[in-house]
Each structure stands twice: as C-alpha cells, then as structure tokens.
A and B are shown apart, each in its own frame.
Chain A
Amino acid sequence: MAILTSRRLTKRFGGLVAISALDLEVEERSIHSIIGPNGAGKTTFFNCVTGFYRAEEGTITFQEEPLDGLTPDRITHMGIARTYQNIRLFATMTCLENILVGMHPHLRASWIGAIVGSPGTRREEAAAHEEARRLLRFVELRGKGDYLAKNLPYGEQRRLEIARALASRPALLLLDEPTAGMNPRESLDTMAFIRRLRDELNITILLIEHNMRVVMGISERITVLDFGEKIAEGSADQVRSDPRVIEAYLGTQRGAAEIGA
C-alpha cells in the first residue's frame, strides 16, 4: 500500500519547470530512492511534500490524506519528517535541545503549565528528556547531549539531524543526501543505519542520494528524475540497465560506469 502518492505534480519557478507532472508512489515500509542529475527536481519534490513549496498543479496524498495547502508544521504533525542536504541543525542549541524541539508535535504542555510547574508538565518534560537521551544513544551520540550542535563533527551532525527528525515519531522520513561528504566506510555504516530505521522502527524511507553504491545497495525501488520528469522507475537492476537513465547520466560510458551498468 502506498503511504505517499503524488499525482501529476507540477512545480514551476517562473518559466522554469522544476517538476513536471510527476506521478510517484512510495510503498509503506519500503526504502525508496530518488536519483537524478543536479537540478533534476529531487529536493524540490521534498520541499513540495513538506509544504515549503506549494505546487502549481497536482496533488500529494499521505496516508490517504491530501497535503495540499497545509503548512509545514501541520505536515510534520501528520507524520512526515525530513533532513536537509546542507545540514540545518539549530546550531547554538545543545544536542538534547535539538531533539527536544523535534519532539514538539507530540508534546502537549502549555506555557501556563510551564510557568506554574504543573505535575503534568513536569512528567511530560521528564519523559521527553528520557526519550531524547534514548534517541541520542540510538544514533550513537551518548553523552553528547550538552554539546552545542555546531561543535559536533560533520558525521555526528548528520546523525543528530536524523535523531531530531525521528523525535517527531514520523511514519515517513525524507533523507536528503544522508551520505554526502562521507567516506566509503561511513557510507556503509549509514546504509546499515537506514536499514535499521526501517526494520526496527517501521519507518518508510524516501531518500535522495548521489552515492550510487548506497542507492543500489539499499533501495527497494528507485525513481530517476531528469529535468523534473520521471524517466525511469523500478528496482536497482531495472534502473541500471535503462537506456534513458544511462543517457541522462551524461549519455556516455562514464555515465554508465557511474551507475554501475
């Protein structure tokens, strides 16, 4: 069953068509990758799903509910979380606070409760702190709760960003180039970690990735975009041998080598 469906989605920036009549279905509990050359519209699609951009035409439905016209905060409440291509943590807040902000959608405490220190608020805060620490351990950042996010090394910032996204208890997680800037060893670890997210937490994963080893290694389904259009879709093997995909990736032998055909 599809958890996320886009139908004839079109997004334009002035005269530029960033996404053109895109049909896409993401199966529940799958790991689904979107690939394509630079400027293919991958991140634009993410921004449409999360409500940053408003598409001109077409619809997106999530768990059978339409997302059209909803603000980003409402969409997060529905169960979609994301990370960013260029890490966007709350730099001068601590790791723990970053995760606690991520929990915002499912915390209920009002500001008046916080001022008077009502028992409900205290209980919720204690539980939230405990869960945040557990999430820190889950992404192997134990004991770094009080570090400022900006002072973490690059790889740990990536993991913290994922932890922050997990904190909202999403059903669908959008990862924008999670292995960008990582060495092969770290990329392998990240692949294993993404699999754990799906296997242990039952989260559907939709990712944008340029590292073909990662994409081919973990994706159950791959969608290839070029100039905003879907040019191929299928399993890793199907996509790898598709002539249009090879064409899009420079149309040369180099392109073919890059996707491992």
Chain B
Amino acid sequence: MSGALRTGLIWGAIGVFLSLVGMVEAFAARQIIVGVISLGHLLLLLIALGSGSRAARQGKVWGSAALLRGLVAGVTTGLVASAFIAVGSAANLRAMFVSATPELFAFLSFGRGVAGIPLVVAATATAGAIGAAAALLPAVIARPLAVGVTSALAVGLFQELLQIILQEGVIRTAIRRLIFTEDGLPPRGALIVFAVAAGTSALLRGRRGGVRAWTAHRPPRQRRAISLVAVALAIVVALLLPVAGGLFVSQVLVLVGLYILMGLGLNLEVGFAGLLDLGFVAFFAIGAYTVGLLTSTGEHAIAHLSFWATVPIALVVSLIAGILFGMPILRIRGDYLAIATLGFGEIIRLLFLSDALRPWFGGSQGVLGIPKPTLGGFEFAGPQQLYYLTLIASAFIAFVAFRLRDSRLGRAWMALREDEDVAEAMGINLVNVKLLAYGIGGAFAGMGGAIFAVMLGSIFPHSFSLLISINVLALIIVGGIGSLPGVIVGSLFLVGLPELLREFTDFRFLVYGAVLILMMQLRPEGLWPAAAQQRELHEERVDIPLVPPVEAAPGEAPAGVEGGGS
C-alpha cells in the first residue's frame, strides 16, 4: 500500500506543479465538451486517472486489491490537491508563485473554496478507481474504449479547427451540424464521436492483422498496385490539406515542412553518420540569407535574381558552408563535437548580427523586401500556396535522403556512426565521408532556409537562435533517430501540435522536456524507429537467396573474391 501512497503523492505533486506554473489556469479557458469539462479540468482528471492506473499496475495484484490501490492513490492525489487548496486559500502565495491566483484555487475546488475539498477528494478517488479499473480491463474492451475516449477528446480539443474545415460542402456541413453546436462540442456530439470511434476500433480489432496478411499473400504485382493506391491516396490528401484546412492550418503545415527539411538534414548528420551537431541552425540561416540577399528589392540586395535561380545557389552555398564547417572539427569526437558545433551555430548568427558586417547583412535590421516567388503568373503569395512549395521541397529532399541512405555513402556513414576506427580500416576515407555528411545535411537545411526567407519576406538574425537547433534535434529524437518517416512524425508532433494548441505555446519547453524524458523511458527508439530495428522480424521474407540453395562446396569460392585474390 505504501507504493500506492507514494504514487498518489507523486501524481498529486505533478498536479500542484502544473497548477503553480499556470498551466491548469491557462487551460481552463478552453472548453472540451461544452458545459461538461474544460481542458484544465481534463488535465487534472488525467492526473487522477494516471495516478490510479499507475498504482494498480505497480502492485502486481489483480481484482479488488488493485482497485483498492487505485482508490488509495486517487485519494492521496486528492489530499495533496486539498492541502494545496487549503494553503492557497489561507495564505497569499502570489509573492512567490505568480500563477497562484484566487481564480486558480476557485477552479481547483470547483468554485467552493475550502468547502470544496471533500468534493475534490471524492472526484480524485473516483478517477483513481476508474484508472485502476481501466488498467485491469482486458485489451479487447480497453482498446476500443481508449480509442473512443481519445477520439472524442481530440475532436473537442481541435474543435475550432474542425469547424473551419467542416464549414463548406453539403456532407461536411451535415457532419458539423450533427456533432457541433454554436457553442462547441456538446455532450451529444462527444458521445457520437465516442460511439463511432470505439465501434470502428472494435470492428477492426482482429482484422488489422487480417488485412496485412491478405496483402502479404497477394501476388507481387497486386501488392505493388495496392501500395501504389495507398501512395496515391496519401498524395491526394497532402494536396488537399491546405484547401480543406484553410489559412491557419496551411501556415502550421509550412512550418512543419520547414522543420522536416531541417530534420532530414540533421538526421543525416546525427542519425546516419553519428555526428552530433548543435549548431545546425547555421545552415538554415545561410540558406535564408543567400536567397534573401540575392532576391531582395531592399537596400542590401546583391542581385535581383528570381527565387528559382537562387534555390540552387542556396543549396550550393550551404553545402560549401557545411564542408567548411566540418573541416576544423574532423578530429573532434563525442561531447567535444557537441560543444564545437554549438559554438559554430552561434558564430554564424553573430556574424549576421554584427555591426561590422552591417553593410552586407543588415545587422539586427535584417534583410527586407524579399519578394514572393512566382511561376508563370502564379504567385506563391500566402501559406496556402507556399505549402505546395514546401511539400515539393520536402518530398524531393526526403527522396534524396532515402536514396543516400541505401547507397555506398549511406553505408559508410552508418559504419562511421557505429565504429569510426573500424570504418576507417574498412577503407572508408573519413575526411570525405564526414565532410559530405556536413555538406549534404547543411544543404537540406539551406533548402528550408530558402523557403523561410520568402515565407516571411524579411529575415532577421534573431530568427536563427540556438532553440531552433535544439528543436530540430528534439524532433528527430522523438521521431526515431536515423528514421526518415520519424522526421515527419516528429515534426508533426513537436512542431505541428504545439502550434495548433495555442495554450501550449507558453509551456512548450516544459512539454518538450516532459515528452523527451517520457520518450527515453518508454520508447527510446522513437515514435517511428528506423527500419533496421524492425527488419529482423521478417527477415525470411526479405532475404531470398539469389541462387538455388546449394551449400558452398569445397572448390566453390565467392566469385568476386577469386578475382582479387592472387
């Protein structure tokens, strides 16, 4: 039982912490289900649920004993919250904690102050018991329930966005009328979403493996056709996104795209070649400044080229920058490499910021008047148009990264990552291979910078802070280091989600930190790990012998080796 008590205390402390940093109150304003629950209360509810569920799982007991543990943990969490409410109502904590406002305590105690404490404890106790019960449910029931609840909450969370998407069209309007009211998502709509999602999940359960087995047993030609259809569908969805999502969604997606471009570049350095780089934003800045200076109509313009002419130049400039960047740090390994690259990133930013170079780079005033790209009369004026530019650039860069990964150079990078000395003994020229990693990785980020420049129309040194490098590193870790789809998943998750949930922006780095710690604890290989870690599971299907299975008999030597032997 002391385990359950401790779990309750820890989760209670998490709740108090989130309240004190202002997260609960900031989330209180957003209604998830109208008149039922706000995001703030949802957060508190999730904490109580998590406390109960965790306590039940920890105990290695079943049935009523586990429920009891959940109940105890829930009550403990509630008591911690109550103590917090009592202290907060009696004394003014605001001298130390700005967010410990009377409104916060009113919110925590359901508006009843100290008198609300029994209610708080009862609520957390119930939630704890429910959490424990959920942990005990067999997967057959738990999965559809979880899918249903998550879907309903997701619809509630993104309701503004969904309402925008569902504004036009007969079917879309009908769906909107069915689920939403003027005020938001009513309980009725939430129930519908829950029922549909849970039902679908229950129906699909057990069939998912079936679908996979069905495709696996199709003849190769049909299988290829099926995957082509899937790819075509994905392309259609990608093309329709900005039309359906509107301006705001497009803006977020362009940002996600820029991070995908940078992520692919850094993934090539860190994920493939194992070269840690904390100054990666430098290449993004170089790409942006190259395009800015060459296309600008402002005072710092060097030339007035078109965007399309400057993109290859930006790629080459950032490639060369990467090679120059790599040269002094060729012999540095490990932690020292991290520090050296960190310094490089800052040097580039400070060069653009410096007064000495102001005549060329504009100093802190930046480069202004960068025109939008046009193509045969079509202007990439806003996010909805720039989205397509980003999409094509990302697809192109992802394709290049994919091809490089499976090439001789890609294998050399991975060998370098695994064991630098042995890689060299395998005949790999470390200098070339490292410089190419920095150069090509830099060029990918330069591509992102080029689009960034025309997206904003003006660039300033302060846009290229260390935080961008850290964001990019975080997203490839969360997505799965070395994994190409992982970069996309990581960008959507770490860049897209926080933008869509405006309440999160203040707490972005708190959430980042928590997510990174959780990832390292629960899923260190990332959300979408690199293929090598999964490949073994179905190796028999992949490794088809090229010649009939005849064991190498004496006298039969590998043909390739024969030639080079004597």
Contact = CB atoms under 8 A, between A and B. Distances in A.
Contacts of A82: 425
A203 B419 CA distance: 26
A116 to B, nearest CB: 8
Interface stretch (A162-170, A219-227, A238-246): A162-170
Contacts of A171: 564-566
A99 B49 CA distance: 51
Given A72-B424, A93-B532, A147-B539, A203 B400 contact: no
Given A105-B427, A135-B561, A111 B436 contact: yes
Interface string A60-94: 00000000000111001101001010001011111
Given A143-B545, A146-B536, A203-B565, A111 B440 contact: yes
Interface in B428-453: 428-430, 436, 440
A102 B426 CA distance: 5
A261 interface: no
B558 A92 contact: no
- Mostly, the B contact residues are helix
Contact of A90 (B419, B539, B552): B419
B162 interface: no
Interface in A100-134: 100-102, 104-107, 109, 111, 114-115, 117, 121, 125, 127, 130-131, 133-134
A90 B425 contact: no
Contact of B408 (A29, A92, A107, A127): A107
Contacts, number: 165
A138 B414 contact: no
A104 B412 contact: yes
Nearest to B542: A146
B426 A164 contact: yes
A107 B427 CA distance: 11
18 contacts: A50-B425, A72-B425, A76-B425, A88-B421, A88-B422, A90-B422, A93-B414, A94-B532, A96-B543, A101-B414, A104-B411, A104-B412, A114-B406, A117-B403, A134-B559, A146-B543, A169-B563, A200-B555
Given A88-B421, A138-B552, 10 more contacts: A52-B425, A82-B425, A101-B415, A111-B408, A125-B407, A131-B560, A166-B561, A200-B557, A201-B557, A201-B565
Interface of A: 29, 50-52, 71-73, 76-77, 79, 82, 84, 88, 90-94, 96-97, 100-102, 104-107, 109, 111, 114-115, 117, 121, 125, 127, 130-131, 133-135, 137-138, 140, 142-148, 151, 164, 166, 168-171, 196, 200-203
Interface of B: 400, 403-404, 406-412, 414-415, 418-419, 421-430, 436, 440, 532-533, 535-536, 539-540, 542-543, 545-546, 549, 551-552, 554-555, 557-566
